[in-house]
Amino acid sequence: MDLLIKNGTIVTDSESFIADIAVKDGKIACIGKNLTMEAQKVVDATGKYVLPGAIDVHTHLAMPFGGTVSADGYLSGTRAAACGGVTTVFDYPMQRKGKGILETVEARNQMCAPEACVDYAFHCIITDLNDGTLLDEFQAAIDYGITSFKCFLVYKKEGMMVDDGTLVKVMKKAKEVGAITNLHAENPDIIDMNIEKFKKEGKTSAWYHYLSRPEFVEAEADKRAIHWAKAFDTPLYIVHLACKEGVEAAAAAKKEGYDIFVETCPQYLEFTSEVYKREDGRNFVCSPPIKGQESQDALWEAIKNGTIDVVATDHCPFQSYEKDWGKDDFTKIPNGCAGIENLYPYMLSKANEGKITFNTAVKLCATNPAKIFGCTQKGSLTVGKDADIVIYDPKKEFTISVSNMHSDYDHTIWEGKKLNGYPVQTFVRGELVYDNGNFVGKPGFGKFVKRQPRR
């Protein structure tokens, strides 16, 4: 064997038990008690948890956005991922008017391949159907390994928004080829109306970012999208859902048997809209904005009752000087926050504190993302799957600071947050990439994950 991890508590999405894991050629070869085979490397995980690597299915690396480019590229973003126990990262290449899906994704694959420190996959953002011809390329995207597309119902001036007709065409075609449609749901017209009003009134602080897109602005679009998914019986994955009304609508549709999937993000689970009143409120500006306490409570409840399927980050950091562009005008703040290195430690810390179980954390951050997005080799500690493994010390205390992260950004909304427990080692396909605070992997080691279509 190449690697033998002994005596750890193995955590799956449904059970936890003490056992050993043997790894050969990057795959999990055997799981059992008191394994005695020879191995090149033996890790004693006594007193530690042994978990599947997390899959962060929502990141924007080197993304041109908000008048700049997000602060983490493929190297620093995937390096930070490794150090936070994320072994597969999904990025969002953006198709533009006149361009195809494959050329868009291939260009990003070429950028990512030499830099990726963990495995990676792509969803493709669709911004224009090129008079309908783009739909003919969906099958080729599936053959390439892209089994999810994304639409935005906002970002009109950025040329990223689609109308309902385009969204429905994407959802229908995606279903036909075995893909799923991801959606950023907010109502653009009401946002514009609010922004115009606040600007006229001279209300320009970060607080008005929240007030221009409060709970009901997101809820309307969540409900509209769910309505279309039901009407056309297509699968729908709502990204970064952050409001109570939206989560309730999703729960109802799921109960009726529709294929509606819900993602939320750690920032919505930890902070409330009150952060936008802070002097540094602009650093928390993301869209949809972080909502009020009632929504946060509803999100935790939805995690517990299974309405929320996935927790991912929407990692899209910007440097302080870029956030400062909006000091006196919230519309000039590039939207997005950091999170890729905090996702798993944060959710596991919540498990360690007893707010959720470790099995739920694994389900939300690894097993469900793999199932929903067709990563058949990933997401659980199962014989035959990739040996993407995190060893977690429940006794290690950790305080998040920009100085102990492994990204390229210069500030984090998570500064000073104390976590109970922390990952101590991350393995990608059996290779150690993170060891006790240090990145020990190699750029270019990460491989493109060719995903399987839905059946």
- In the complex, the residues that contact ligand URP under the rule CB under 6 A are 60, 184, 286-287, 314, 316, 335-336
336 contacts which partner out of ligand URP, Zn ion, none, CB within 5 to 8 A by kind?
ligand URP
Torsional sign, CA 429, 434, 440, 445 = positive
Separation of alpha carbons 418 and 450, rounded Å: 37
Neighbours of 169 (CB within 10 A): 19
Least Å from the CB of residue 24 to Zn ion: 37
Q: Tokens standing for 234? A: 């297509």
Q: Tokens standing for 298? A: 């509803």
Continuous segment of H or E residues that includes residue 392: strand 389-399
Nearer to Zn ion, 314 or 341 (CB): 314
Least Å from the CB of residue 155 to ligand URP: 7
Least Å from the CB of residue 286 to ligand URP: 4
315 contacts which partner out of Zn ion, ligand URP, none, CB within 5 to 8 A by kind?
none
Nearer to ligand URP, 152 or 198 (CB): 152
Q: Is there a contact between 28 and 53 (Cβ–Cβ < 8 Å)?
A: no
Residue tagged 């006790």 (tokens) = 436
Nearer to ligand URP, 101 or 286 (CB): 286
Least Å from the CB of residue 310 to ligand URP: 14
378 contacts which partner out of Zn ion, ligand URP, none, CB within 5 to 8 A by kind?
none
Separation of alpha carbons 69 and 66, rounded Å: 8
Least Å from the CB of residue 258 to ligand URP: 23
Q: Is there a contact between 182 and 239 (Cβ–Cβ < 8 Å)?
A: yes
360 contacts which partner out of ligand URP, Zn ion, none, CB within 5 to 8 A by kind?
none
The residues, ordered by sequence, that sit 6+ positions from 19 with a Cβ below 8 Å of its Cβ are: 8, 10, 31, 32, 33
Nearer to Zn ion, 184 or 454 (CB): 184
Residue tagged 């000091």 (tokens) = 327
Q: To the nearest 5 percent, what fractions of the chain are helix, strand and coil?
A: 35, 25, 40
Site for Zn ion in 291-330 (CB under 5 A): 314
Q: Tokens standing for 204? A: 């320009």
Torsion angle of alpha carbons 350, 352, 356, 361, nearest 10°?
80
CB closest to Zn ion, residue no: 184
Site for Zn ion (CB under 5 A): how many residues?
A: 2
CB closest to ligand URP, residue no: 335
Interaction of residue 388 with Zn ion, rule CB under 5 A: no
Nearer to ligand URP, 9 or 287 (CB): 287
Least Å from the CB of residue 186 to ligand URP: 9
Separation of alpha carbons 438 and 389, rounded Å: 16
Single out the segment in contact with Zn ion by CB under 5 A; choices: 74-82, 113-121, 179-187, 230-238: 179-187
Nearer to ligand URP, 137 or 341 (CB): 341
> Based on C-alpha coordinates, what's the Rg of the chain?
21
Nearer to ligand URP, 95 or 287 (CB): 287
Least Å from the CB of residue 206 to Zn ion: 18
Determine the number of helices (DSSP H) and then strands (DSSP E) in the chain: 14, 20
Interaction of residue 184 with Zn ion, rule CB under 5 A: yes
Nearer to ligand URP, 121 or 348 (CB): 121
Least Å from the CB of residue 133 to ligand URP: 26
Tell me whether the omega of the peptide bond preceding residue 345 falls within 30 degrees of 0, making it cis. Answer: no
Find residue 19's DSSP bridge partners: 8
- Give residues in contact with Zn ion (CB under 5 A): 184, 314
